[in-house]
């Protein structure tokens, strides 16, 4: 899956989870950019991303992930 | 909605919860509002988020109180103005094996383990007692799931020092408390986590990252299972099964294949699957579920199939058998009408998705599970929790008999020209008395599930019912009715509040079970209320009708009881006055009333 394809899917997940059709995420997007993205929603977001790509983040990855770009990198590495 | 019907896609629910919530809120207006306090020993945010969906699906609109993280015990034990102001109608305590403070160690003596056990159990018991004393509402408590590792391996449950042994002991003590306390219910996460898969359930990532006692993906199963207890407590259980026959109760088509060629019984693997399913259904009768048939068949063939010598279910196990060529949705409506229950209290079981679709479209609120293949029928019906047991009352066990007797009565009725003559032939005996402890559970249950013959649709907990019984400012009456076909149990409830100046009684609740409609029981209740008023000098009775989507049948009830309408608002609320005459003539002439 290309990075572009990963972002298309990620966008859908973000829109579903935050119930907002306007969201467009980029490499630099962080929790500060999306009003409803707080620590509680974060758990739900990660679960939805895992489900969408059929992957599982390990604890180290969850702890270190800084922005959507890094999230995409981890997804791509797991998809191999 | 389908997304929330078991078996559901939990991850989809988690992802789309906001959208689902919007759709649920738009789907109906007649929600029952309930204040639910969630006292957690771990994070509860997403449990509440998903629980809300499943409750909305059941017609309950929850308002939540959520304790601060892991403050369940403090919230319960110490003065808590926030929680008292919230006035919970139900409390859920979300604890898990992560909340067990001290486990036994392999070197501990039996005595030390006993001490730990007592300490741990008492921690919970004092909290439950305190909650019951303070809030008088139902309490739901998780039991403990098994730990995700076993220091003593396979002997973990054998040695008293093992964590599994310790957890089993605690769980058993929890169950014993539940047996002894009517308004206390166990949420069985021990079973749930086993059914889900313990390793996945207790993924430590979710505890260490977010302080969740189970993994995120298990939360929909958790919330669904919990919502079943809650809806059952609030009277939203389903009441009856409407069962298809061909390929649902047996393999084959009785009309085409002939009864002798059906697969049911011990001869073949498929026959065994169906026999086990029929056994499961037959046992439903013992918890008060009514069985009916809804099948496209000639009646003669349907009966021939049900009389199959290897079959477990026989024609007499069913209260009603609809075997005809009408649309199944039509039969469902008929069944509901003849049993005097609402169509949305039926569960329709059919192997054919097309038939399910019709019923789903035509009968809003009826449960139409996608039952899968025959070997899955039991699990899907069972885990759906349509008939979740929270009180195994005598009434439940007798319900099938009672409804059957009702149908007998209807047959009988056809033979009488004069309705009064028919009523007298029933040899009815009523008991109408102020609330008594023996019946407060049933009275609370009635207040929560009566929708049609219910003037104000106020819902009360057992605690509130007990308070009315003890308070002189209230006149309370329950009514039981027995006739020659059987005992109907407690079927009517009236609660009246005396005005401060003592001469007016305001009727806050008047309800009656539809199983005794048109039996003059309402007149007998009226007589009893009037008599109580006369005994204490009350001259005026005020009646109130609050319209809901379901109680149109009692719109003019007070009118027929001889009240005068004094007020009617735009929203259809009506207020009625009855002046107690000195020479009140008894309205009931057909029921012999024992006081």
Q: How far apart are CA B469 and CA A50, in angstroms?
A: 55
- Is the minimum CB–CB distance between B205 and chain A shorter than 8 Å? yes
Tally of CB atoms within 10 A around B76 = 24
Are the beta carbons of B497 and B508 closer than 8 angstroms? Answer: yes
Which residues does residue B18 pair with via DSSP β-bridges, in sequence order?
A: none
**Residue B42 distance to chain A (closest CA, Å):** 13
Contact state of A47 with B210 under an 8 Å Cβ cutoff: no
Write the DSSP symbol of residue B279. H
Q: How far apart are the first and last CA of chain A?
A: 9
Distance of alpha carbon B90 from alpha carbon B184, whole angstroms: 10
* Residue B199 and residue B150 in contact, taking contact as beta carbons nearer than 8 Å: no
Q: Tell me the backbone φ, ψ of residue B341, rounded to 5 degrees.
A: -125, 165
Q: B25 and chain A: CB distance < 8 Å anywhere?
A: no
Is B379 an 8 Å CB contact of chain A?
A: no
CB-neighbour burial class of residue B107 (10 A; exposed 0-12, middle 13-18, buried 19+) = exposed
Of the residues B15, B43, B53, the best mutation for testing chain A's interface (the one with the most A CB atoms within 10 Å of its CB) is: B15
| A59 contacts in chain B (CB < 8 Å) | 205, 208-209
Mean pLDDT of A55-79: 92
Look-up: residue for tokens 């249950």?
B445
Residue in B572, B577, B560, B595 with CA at minimum distance from that of residue B505: B577
Nearest CA of chain A to the CA of B19: how many Å?
7
Side-chain-side CA neighbours of residue B526 (13 Å): 23
Which pLDDT score, from 0 to 100, does residue B400 have? 73
**Cross-strand bridge partners of residue B482:** B429, B487
Residue of A16, A43, A58 with shortest CB distance to B15: A16
Residues 129-188 of B with CB under 8 A from A: none
Sequence-distant (≥ 6) Cβ neighbours of residue A19 within 8 angstroms: B18, B19, B22
- Whether residue B375 lies within 8 A of chain A, CB to CB, comes out as no
Q: What pLDDT shows up at residue B485?
A: 75
Residue of B539, B481, B485, B543 whose CA lies nearest to B513: B481
pLDDT at B394: 62
Three-class DSSP labels, B150-203: CCCHHHCCCCCCCHHHHHHHHHHHHHHHHHHCCCEEEECHHHHHHHHCHHHHCC
Preferred mutation among B3, B10, B14 to probe A, highest tally of A CBs within 10 A: B14
CB of B487 within 8 Å of a chain A CB? The answer is no
Q: Is A62 on the interface with B (CB under 8 A)?
A: yes
B210 and A CB contact within 8 Å: yes
pLDDT of residue B595: 76
Whether A76 and chain B come into contact, CB under 8 Å, resolves to no
Average pLDDT along chain B, 595 residues, taken 10 residues at a time: 94 94 92 96 96 97 95 92 95 97 94 96 96 95 97 96 98 96 95 98 94 96 98 94 97 91 92 96 92 95 95 95 93 93 95 91 93 96 95 67 76 73 86 92 89 93 92 94 84 93 92 86 96 92 93 92 94 94 91 88
Does the distance separating the beta carbons of B15 and A51 come in below 8 Å?
yes
Question: What stretches of B322-393 show up as alpha helix (H) in DSSP?
Answer: 328-339, 353-362, 377-384
> Which strands, in side-by-side order, build the sheet including B540-545?
B564-568, B574-579, B540-545, B504-512, B486-498, B474-483, B428-433, B591-594
DSSP class of residue B263 equals B
How many Cα atoms are found within 13 Å in the side-chain-facing hemisphere of B55? 26
What's the pLDDT score for residue B320?
94
Give the model's pLDDT for residue B392: 67
- Is A40 in Cβ contact with B45 (below 8 Å)? yes
CB A22 within 8 A of CB A30: no
Residues of A in contact with B208 (CB under 8 A): 59
Q: How far apart are CA B144 and CA B166, in angstroms?
A: 10
Quote the crossing angle between the two packed helices B328-339 and B394-414, to the nearest 10°. Answer: 100
Residue of A nearest to B19 (CA): A19
Residue B220 CB coordination number (10 Å): 25
- Does any CB of chain A come closer than 8 Å to the CB of residue B68? no
Cβ–Cβ below 8 Å for B16 and A16: yes
**CA separation for the pair B254, B296 (Å, rounded):** 11
| pLDDT digit string, tens, across residues A11-56 | 999 999 999 999 999 999 998 999 889 888 888 899 999 999 999 9
Q: Which value does ipTM take for this structure?
A: 0.81
Considering only alpha carbons, which residue of chain B is nearest residue A12?
A: B15
Peptide bond into B7 cis (omega under 30): yes
pLDDT of residue B225: 98
Question: What stretches of B16-109 show up as alpha helix (H) in DSSP?
Answer: 17-27, 45-57, 72-77, 81-86
Instruction: Tell me, yes or no, if A26 comes closer than 8 A to chain B by beta carbon.
Output: no
Q: Do A47 and B205 touch (CB under 8 A)?
A: no
A48/B14 Cβ within 8 A: yes
């Amino acid at each position: 899956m290309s990075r572009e394809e990963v972002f298309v899917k990620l966008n859908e997940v973000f829109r579903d989870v935050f119930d907002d059709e306007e969201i467009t995420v980029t490499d630099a997007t962080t929790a500060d950019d999306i009003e409803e993205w707080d620590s509680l929603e974060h758990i739900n977001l990660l679960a939805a991303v895992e489900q969408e790509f059929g992957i599982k983040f390990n604890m180290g990855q969850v702890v270190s992930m800084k922005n959507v770009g890094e999230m995409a990198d981890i997804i791509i590495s797991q998809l191999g | 909605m389908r997304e929330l019907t078991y078996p559901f896609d939990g991850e989809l629910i988690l992802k789309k919860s906001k959208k689902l919530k919007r759709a649920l809120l738009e789907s109906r207006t007649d929600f029952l509002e309930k204040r639910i306090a969630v006292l957690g020993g771990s994070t509860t945010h997403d449990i509440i988020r998903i629980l809300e969906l499943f409750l909305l699906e059941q017609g309950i609109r929850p308002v939540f109180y959520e304790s601060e993280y892991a403050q369940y015990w403090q919230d319960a034990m110490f003065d808590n103005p926030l929680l008292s102001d919230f006035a919970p109608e139900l409390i859920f305590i979300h604890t898990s094996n992560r909340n067990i403070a001290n486990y036994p160690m392999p070197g501990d003596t039996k005595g030390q383990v006993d001490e730990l056990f007592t300490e741990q159990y008492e921690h919970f018991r004092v909290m439950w007692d305190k909650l019951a004393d303070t809030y008088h509402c139902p309490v739901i408590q998780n039991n403990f799931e098994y730990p995700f590792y076993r220091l003593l391996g396979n002997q973990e449950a054998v040695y008293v020092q093992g964590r599994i042994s310790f957890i089993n002991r605690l769980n058993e003590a929890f169950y014993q408390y539940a047996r002894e306390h009517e308004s206390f219910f166990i949420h069985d996460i021990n079973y749930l986590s086993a059914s889900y898969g313990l390793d996945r359930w207790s993924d430590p990532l979710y505890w260490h990252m977010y302080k969740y006692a189970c993994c995120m993906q298990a939360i929909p199963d958790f919330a669904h299972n919990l919502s079943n207890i809650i809806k059952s407590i609030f009277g939203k259980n389903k009441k009856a099964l409407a069962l298809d026959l061909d390929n649902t109760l047996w393999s084959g088509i009785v009309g085409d294949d002939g009864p002798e060629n059906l697969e049911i019984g011990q001869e073949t693997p498929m026959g065994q699957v169906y026999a086990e399913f029929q056994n499961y259904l037959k046992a439903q009768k013992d918890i008060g579920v009514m069985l009916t048939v809804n099948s496209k068949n000639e009646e003669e063939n349907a009966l021939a199939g049900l009389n199959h010598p290897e079959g477990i279910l026989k024609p007499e196990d069913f209260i009603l058998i609809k075997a005809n060529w009408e649309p199944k949705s039509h039969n469902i409506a008929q069944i509901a009408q003849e049993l005097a229950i609402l169509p949305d209290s039926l569960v329709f079981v059919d192997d054919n998705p097309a038939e399910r679709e019709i019923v789903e479209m035509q009968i809003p609120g009826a449960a139409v599970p996608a039952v899968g293949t025959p070997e899955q029928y039991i699990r899907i019906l069972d885990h759906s929790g349509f008939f979740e047991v929270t009180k195994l009352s005598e009434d439940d066990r007798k319900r099938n008999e009672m409804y059957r007797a009702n149908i007998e009565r209807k047959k009988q009725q056809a033979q009488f020209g004069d309705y009064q003559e028919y009523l007298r032939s029933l040899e009815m005996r009523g008991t109408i008395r102020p609330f008594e402890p023996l019946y407060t559970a049933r009275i609370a249950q009635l207040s929560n599930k009566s929708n049609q013959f219910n003037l104000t649709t106020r819902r009360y907990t057992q605690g509130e019912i007990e308070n009315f019984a003890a308070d002189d400012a209230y006149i309370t009456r329950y009514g039981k009715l027995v006739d020659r076909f059987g005992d109907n149990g407690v079927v009517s409830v009236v609660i009246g509040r005396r005005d401060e100046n003592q001469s007016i009684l305001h009727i806050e609740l008047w309800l009656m079970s539809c199983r005794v409609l048109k039996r003059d029981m309402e007149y007998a209740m009226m007589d009893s209320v009037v008599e109580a008023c006369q005994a204490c000098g009350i001259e005026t009775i005020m009646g109130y009708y609050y319209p809901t989507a379901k109680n149109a049948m009692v719109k003019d009830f007070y009118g027929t009881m001889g009240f005068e309408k004094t007020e009617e608002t735009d929203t259809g609320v009506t207020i009625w006055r009855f002046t107690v005459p000195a020479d009140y003539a008894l309205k009931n002439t057909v029921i012999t009333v024992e006081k």
